[in-house]
Copies of this chain bind each other. A is one copy, B any other.
Amino acid sequence: MNKLTVAHAHPFDHAIALQPMAPTAQATAPGSSREWLGHTSPAYANMVGPFGGVTAAQALNAVMHHPDRLGEPVSFTANFAAALADGEFRAHATPVRTNRSTQHWRVDLLQTDSQGVESVVLTATAVTAARRKTWSAVDAVMPRVPRPHDIERAASPRPVPWLQRYDMRPCAGELPQTWDGAEADSLSQLWMRDDPPRPLDFCGLLALADVFYPRVWRRRALLTPVGTVSMTVYFHSGADELAATGEGYLLGQARAQSFFNGFFDQSAELWNEAGHLLATTHQIVYFKE
């Protein structure tokens, strides 16, 4: 994507844009690592550093842009090794193994600190595949909830830029109104889409998989410090299903299964309005006390 395009682009496209760094002669061999320059985006800033969903999408975007990519994403795992500092980062994407119909990727995001020391801020692995049409079935049950246009958009309770970039319409399990330590279940259901609306693609879907607020906040009604350490998305859709979803809302459902000594898990499903289960996602999140 060139600069002219980016200038008129959706904030998300602007945020995940990567500028290729000139490959060395060696690096142009098939299956070699490619390097891009990226930048954190003020439009997707969190309280400290960027919204993790966009950081993960930036890593996936390096795979999407690699000239040797085979097929579409099936699986993506990002490990958040450190909070990104606002500013530039480098993305390395390497197809470590290319089979007949699947391909395995390693991706790293790196930043250089003020002392000139470079370190890894995110590690990721991905599997892409040339999918074929097969027998298919969805066993997960889509929750029965009101249509998105019959639900009021949630007012953002916190002055955090990235929350403005998503239109969220909660059906159940909203953020607690009072932080009184009253225990509840950990389930949330909401309709969500980009704001402004944006045609769905793999990077956009990956970021949406990280939109749910931390389960421990709901479970305990306590605003304890948290941070996702690892997140996995399984794509149960191809480019055709994402194109058919377009700018429509996705129904997201998230819940935790265990909170244990500083870490809890989150499992979530993302359906489109037509009832296709586009992705399932899992993460493990640090929490304090």
Task: Name A residues whose Cβ lies closer than 8 Å to a Cβ of B.
Answer: 74-75, 77, 79, 81-82, 96-97, 99, 102, 104, 106, 108, 119-121, 123-125, 127, 129, 131-140, 183, 185-186, 219-220, 229-230, 232, 234, 236-238, 255-263, 265, 267, 269, 277, 280, 282, 284, 286-289
Contact = CB atoms under 8 A, between A and B. Distances in A.
Contacts of A261: 131-134, 136, 238
B77 A232 contact: yes
A84 to B, nearest CB: 12
B106 A123 contact: yes
B289 A269 contact: no
Nearest to A282: B282
Given A96-B81, A129-B263, A258-B277, A123 B137 contact: no
Contacts of A123: 96-97, 104, 106, 125
A127 B102 CA distance: 26
A81 B97 CA distance: 6
A79 B232 CA distance: 12
A94 to B, nearest CB: 10
Nearest to A74: B263
A127 B108 CA distance: 15
Given A97-B119, A137-B259, A74 B284 contact: yes
Contacts of A183: 137
A15 to B, nearest CB: 23
A106 B230 CA distance: 13
Contacts of A77: 77, 79, 125, 230, 232
A129 B76 CA distance: 22
A97 B74 contact: no
B262 A280 contact: no
A113 to B, nearest CB: 13
Ranked nearest first, the 9 interchain pairs of A and B with the lowest CB-CB distance are: A81-B97, A140-B257, A236-B258, A81-B104, A75-B230, A131-B261, A236-B260, A96-B120, A77-B77
A43 to B, nearest CB: 27
A52 to B, nearest CB: 14
A286 B99 CA distance: 13
A154 to B, nearest CB: 23
Nearest to A281: B282
A262 B138 contact: no
Task: Specify which of A119, A120, A134, A219 lies most central, judged by the most chain B CB atoms within 10 Å of its CB.
Answer: A134
Given A137-B219, A234-B258, 12 more contacts: A79-B104, A81-B99, A97-B121, A102-B286, A106-B123, A124-B125, A129-B262, A134-B259, A134-B287, A138-B259, A139-B219, A265-B280
